[in-house]
Amino acid sequence: TWTPDAFVDKTVAELKEKIGDEKVILGLSGGVDSSVAAVLLHKAIGKNLHCIFVNNGLLRKNEFGDVLKQYEGMGLNVKGVDASARFLDDLAGESDPETKRKTIGRVFIEVFDDESHLVENAKWLAQGTIYPDVIESVSATGGPSQTIKSHHNVGGLPDFMKLKVVEPLKMLFKDEVRRVGASLGIDKALLGRHPFPGPGLAIRILGDITPEKVAILQEVDAIFIDGLKKWDLYDKVWQAGAMLLPVNSVGVMGDERTYEKCVALRAVESTDGMTADWVNLPYEFLQKTSNDIINKVPGVNRVVYDISSKPPATIEWE
Ligand code: XMP
């Protein structure tokens, strides 16, 4: 029978044998898969694993700093690269969802390629690919590796893609990855994190992206997610987030009429993201969250809750 401990022992031995004293590069996303892959490789080859964590400026509030600190605390050899300005500059004025995704994918590859050149004499590219990614190579939850695959024909192969590939989680399902992570001593909160799309908040800001809109959505999202945790609802939900809608609506504050933004909250139950049901969150929670958002986030005067299931709706709004 399969056990996480036996998997770790066997895989670490295999990785040592395969990689020897060569250098490996790995892109961390803050998600479960890349984090578990990193810790596994670190156990096998230590400082020869060079991790790169890119801030695309579209992460959750404080995510880049917090997660980077957490990775450092785990002993990983990690470099945080804040490329926010580069991503946001290239996205400016763009409102087509697929073009936004492509732009983010392209800039990610450019940044990652630049950074991988700074690791001298690297021989391997490690990826947190898991079994569902392998069987469904067009997986919707593709992350950076999928992004890379769909862009490698643009202007020739970037150098890091010419490296030998190592994918230690390739035969595992998500729940097995979590169990391996637990056996490696990775923080439970990290292992229980909701999925988060590679393009991040870009596909939750409908229409064009500005730094101001990102800042508003980060605040709204943080209130929603912190609230779910406080009310002990976070682990009962498969994925949750907020969407910034491209409409203003009329409101009233004191004697003043306002004309401000509207956000939609979304929380779903799912097993793989292919189908999903909206979650029946308690009215008291929704009421408190809506009040908190409208009172604390300048520029937002209306909150709605998304009660659409997938299909026919999707989880993200773009
Ligand atoms: P949809 O919106 O297609 O989302 O119902 C299903 C799951 O996939 C995630 N998602 C993405 N992940 N790059 C990603 O890495 C993307 O472009 C992307 N689009 C959607 C979404 O967050 C959900 O978990």
Answer whether residue 151 is part of any domain: yes
Residues 271 and 139 in one domain: no
Confidence of residue 143 (pLDDT cuts 50, 70, 90): very low
C-alpha of residue 198 to centroid of ligand 1, in Å: 8
Residues 67 and 99 in one domain: yes
* Mutate which of 274, 316, 317, 318 for ligand 1 pocket (most atoms within 8 A of beta carbon): 316
For the chain, the domain total comes to 2
| Residue where one domain finishes, among candidates 191, 219, 239 | 191
In the chain, % of residues over pLDDT 70: 94
In this predicted structure, what is the pLDDT of residue 247? 96
The candidate with the shortest Cα–Cα distance to 272, out of 212, 198, 195, 209, is: 195
Instruction: Look up tokens 């393009």; give the residue.
Output: 199
* CATH code, 26: 3.40.50.620
Residue 294 belongs to domain with CATH number: 3.30.300.10
- Confidence band for 180, pLDDT divided at 50, 70 and 90: very high
Atom of ligand 1 nearest to the CA of 274: 6
Domain that holds residue 136: 4-191
What the block records as the tokens of 191 is 């292992």
Round to whole Å and give the CA distance between 197 and 313. 17
Mind listing the pLDDT tens digit for each residue in 273-313? 999 999 999 999 999 999 999 999 999 999 999 999 999 99
pTM listed for this prediction: 0.93
Rounded-to-integer distance, Cα 161 and Cα 51, Å:
15
Residue 237 annotated as part of some ligand binding site = no
Best residue among 102, 148, 196, 315 to mutate for probing ligand 1's pocket (most ligand atoms within 8 Å of CB) is: 315
- pLDDT tens for 10-67 read 999 999 999 999 999 999 999 999 999 999 999 999 999 999 999 999 999 999 999 9
DSSP string, the chain: ---HHHHHHHHHHHHHHHHTT-EEEEEE-SSHHHHHHHHHHHHHHGGGEEEEEEE-S-SPTTHHHHHHHHHHHTT--EEEEE-HHHHHHHHTT---HHHHHHHHHHHHHHHHHHHHHTSTTEEEEE----HHHHHTTT-TT-HHHHHHHHHTTTTS--GGGGSEEE-TTTT--HHHHHHHHHHTT--HHHHTPPP--TTGGGGTB-S---HHHHHHHHHHHHHHHHHHHHTT-GGG-SEEEEEEEEEEEEEEETTEEEEEEEEEEEEEE-SSSSSBEE----HHHHHHHHHHHHHHSTTEEEEEE----BTTS-SS--
Residue 8 has pLDDT above 60, yes or no: yes
Q: Are residues 180 and 209 in the same domain?
A: no
pLDDT in tens, 219-239: 999 999 999 999 999 999 999
Least confident segment among 60-64, 70-74, 88-92, 134-138 = 134-138
| Domain end residue (candidates: 191, 216, 235) | 191
Task: Answer yes or no: do 127 and 267 share one domain.
Answer: no
Q: Binding site annotation covers 290?
A: no
The reply to whether 196 falls in a domain is: no
For residue 14, is it within any domain? yes
pLDDT at 138 over 60: no
Specify whether 127 is located in the same domain as 40.
yes
Token pair 């230590």: residue: 46
Torsion sign, CA atoms 34, 40, 41, 43: positive
Angle (CA) 71 73 74, round 5°: 65
